[in-house]
Amino acid sequence: MKIRLCLATTAAVLLMAAVSFPAQATLIPYTFSPDASMTFTEPSGSDVIHINGSFTLDTTTQKISPVSITLSCTGPDCPSPLHTTPASFSTALLSPDATTIQLPTSPSGDEAHIAFASSLANAGTIALATTASNGDSEINQTFASAVNGDAAAPTPASEPSSLALLAGVLGLFLLTRRSVRPRRPA
């Protein structure tokens, strides 16, 4: 009887340990919303750069890969502020605070910085920030006057409640203990 109790308790502890410490996912895939865009009012009009595509953030290495982002321009000054439209990017760099991705110079000579309202390491839906910019270098940047849309990552599934799991293990322990308790003579 004591062996059964010991085995049941050991199994319950192992189950609780396995469920309490799930593996932490490090890859966060993001996809831009259909309305993701940056509006530039310089030099003379209202040019809109539409952002399409996706990227994956590795929170362990702080690197973004794979990247598949396309920028396309509509407006009177297009392709400016891009050199060509559409401009495709297959690499990206992440800022130290994980709030900006830099799309390095594409084959057409375009470069873009896309800023977010909060850290990409937080997963979920993150709005684009008004600091999004486009330019060939840090000196020649044009800042967006407005931004639209967001980048969304699937929200991770919530893990089971620790209290509910603990209550289940205690209940199992009490039931097992009750069934092995010797009866007192009457």
Render pLDDT for 3-24 as a digit per residue (tens, 0 to 9).
Answer: 655 455 555 555 555 554 444 5
Range of the domain at 126: 27-146
| In-domain check, residue 60 | yes
| In-domain check, residue 2 | no
| In-domain check, residue 88 | yes
Distance of CA 156 to the CA centre of its chain: 10
| In-domain check, residue 155 | no
| In-domain check, residue 116 | yes
| In-domain check, residue 11 | no
pLDDT at residue 175 above 90? no
* 142: β partners: 134
C-alpha closest to that of 58 among 97, 16, 29? 29
**Structure confidence at residue 172 (pLDDT):** 61
Q: What is the DSSP letter of 182?
A: P
Residue 100 CB partners (closer than 8 Å, separation 6+) = 94, 113, 114, 115, 116, 131
How many domains is the chain partitioned into structurally?
1
Please tell me whether the overall predicted TM-score, pTM, comes out greater than 0.75 for this model. Answer: no
C-alpha closest to that of 40 among 80, 94, 70? 80
* 141: β partners: 135
